[in-house]
Chain A
Amino acid sequence: MSEEKTYNKPLPDFRPETKPYWEGTKNHAMVLPRSKETGKFFFYPRAMSPGDDMSEDIEWVKASGKGKVWTYAIHHMGPSKAYKGDPPYVVALIELEEGVKMMSNVIDVDVNDVHVGMEVEVVYDDVTDEVTLPKFKPAQ
């Protein structure tokens, strides 16, 4: 999706415990961690479930990639020079069907058409050869 040869924006920190998630996005699939004990999904990916179970016994499950905009902001200014030329863009909290909230961008849409409750689905932005960021567009 991205035509840029050099990607200057910050990249997520890869660690062994988040490998299934980032391997998933690279393969254009959304794979989310779930506590085996409570059966609850959580996000962001990490080595233990942050619920009351505090369990390291987690499993990785393919998610639907569908959700709704829970809240959002139209950024008219980026957090650093690397975002020059991007604004206006939308940063949103997406409430996924699996019950977790994920911060992402809503793209392929007029920023003024984004609204709370908007149904969205994941698209994959291969920002570098190694990194794919999940983003969202209005659901078809």
Chain B
Amino acid sequence: MRDVYILGVGTTPCGRFPDKGAHILGREAAWAAIKDAGIHPRKIEIAFCGHVYQGMGVGQRTLKEIGLVGQPTINVEGACGSGTLSFWEAWRTIAYGQYDIALALGVENLSRVLSGGPLPLEEDDIEVALGMGMPGLYAMRAKRYMMEYDVSMEQLAKVVVKSRHHASLNPIAQYNKEMTIEEVLDSPMIADPLTRNMCCPVGDASAAAVLCSADLVDKLATKTPIKVLGCVAQSGKYSSPEGLTCDPSENVMRTSKMAYEMAGLGPEDMDVAEIHDAFSIAEMMVYEALGFCEKGEGAKLIEDGSTWINSGGVAVNPGGGLLSRGHPVGATGLLQTAEIVWQLRGEAGKRQQENANVGVIETMGGAQPSMDGITCVVSVLGK
């Protein structure tokens, strides 16, 4: 297996862009990543495009806008993990020696798919027939978790306060204003115990990364190349042989353990992290699954403030996370990846975590009856 490096990343802003199709957003992000990499676009040998709702051939429709035609372009779908699944595909095609230079792209225009509210789910799903939506699913996790570990509504709200603070320092974030605990709690209840401000927004964006093999990195790199130390994708298992959907922690734990092992590092080595906080409860549960604390202690990290930037611990979601930067589903994983690359290069501006040398990205996609998730992807990046 060869080492793989990220030469460049690029994103659009996150927000509501009903007048820009996914292919227009995608064109902007792909072009930005290619320029950031400082390579001629024709050097790209293969492209992957993550998306969920953007229809047939969206990768090809996007890349023809910037002259990237002819090369294999593969559209990748893994629910909310589609962006990082696209990154994983690009990584492995280089790592295993098939190609030397690849583009990983993620696109989504949700404004053109739904006006607001939760993501549409598969209607013949036995759980969906009972009125379950994604907020409701996370709310059920929250209810059980809060009871088992004595977690308060204020602690759930504090996740959002941190997220909005980081996003206020991120020019591409969808929400860029600070928010108080009261404002989080006083927003309308969506699925008790989750209020609207504890749920990620509907939004549109694209993000991309250009990857290359270790053989070419010295020749091609114009900026600090970021090394992919570990990259693992794993699908969900049965939550339990008997049960239905509730807790994705096993999937995240299993995937991150494999990614840490590949990197030869552990959770204690991480300086920054971008994690899948689709709903505020997810952040604490992912702290545990990624090994930042013991089971049941996620709320302690929220309480002691150590996951804020430059607060003594791993800075979690310095870009604002899904809750505040936004969650344009197919683009999310590469937005997370771009943030970690900027952090490791020292290009993160006002939200720069000091001495950021190693970062981890976790994306968790979807829910299925009796499974703990659809796809989890975890990457570990370093300088």
Contacts and interface: CB of A to CB of B under 8 A. Distances in A.
B191 A75 contact: yes
A56 to B, nearest CB: 15
B268 interface: no
A116 B143 contact: yes
Contacts of B137: 73
B128 A13 contact: no
Contact of B124 (A12, A40, A83): A12
B216 interface: no
B250 interface: no
Contacts of B313: none
Interface residues of B, number: 43
B246 A93 contact: yes
Nearest to A18: B126
A74 B192 contact: yes
Contacts of A99: 242
B55 interface: no
A58 interface: no
Contacts of A47: none
A11 B137 CA distance: 19
B117 interface: yes
Contacts, number: 130
A79 B189 contact: no
B267 interface: no
Nearest to B127: A103
A13 B133 CA distance: 17
A91 B244 contact: no
B52 to A, nearest CB: 16
A77 B119 CA distance: 12
A133 B143 contact: no
A72 B242 contact: no
Given A73-B136, A91-B136, A133 B131 contact: no
Given A10-B128, A42-B241, A103-B244, A79 B147 contact: no
Bin the interface of chain A by size: 35 or more
A100 interface: yes
Interface in B134-150: 134-137, 139-144, 147
Contacts of B129: 9-12, 133
B369 interface: yes
A33 B124 CA distance: 20
Contact of A79 (B118, B139, B142): B118
Contact of A40 (B189, B194, B242): B242
Contacts of A102: 244
A44 B130 CA distance: 13
Nearest to B142: A73
Nearest to A79: B133
Interface string A21-54: 0000000000000000000111110000111100
A71 B140 contact: yes
A10 B123 CA distance: 5
A72 B145 CA distance: 11
A140 interface: no
A76 B123 contact: no
B190 interface: yes
Contacts of B127: 103
Contact of A73 (B125, B140, B244): B140
Contact of B245 (A77, A89, A103): A103
Contacts of B121: 79
B190 A71 contact: no
Interface string B89-126: 00000000000000000000000000001101101111
A124 interface: no
Contact of B131 (A40, A100, A101, A105): A105
A67 B101 CA distance: 56
B243 A101 contact: yes
Nearest to B144: A71
Q: Looking at A51, A71, A78, A79, which has the most chain B CB atoms within 10 Å of its CB?
A: A79
Given A10-B128, A44-B370, A79 B136 contact: yes
Contacts of B118: 77, 79
B120 A76 contact: no
B72 interface: no
Contact of B140 (A51, A52, A93): A93
Given A11-B123, A76-B191, 11 more contacts: A10-B123, A43-B243, A44-B244, A73-B137, A73-B194, A77-B135, A79-B118, A91-B140, A93-B140, A103-B132, A103-B245
Interface of A: 9-13, 40-44, 49-52, 70-80, 83, 86, 88-89, 91-93, 99-105, 116, 133
8 contacts: A10-B128, A71-B147, A73-B192, A79-B132, A89-B131, A91-B136, A116-B144, A133-B129
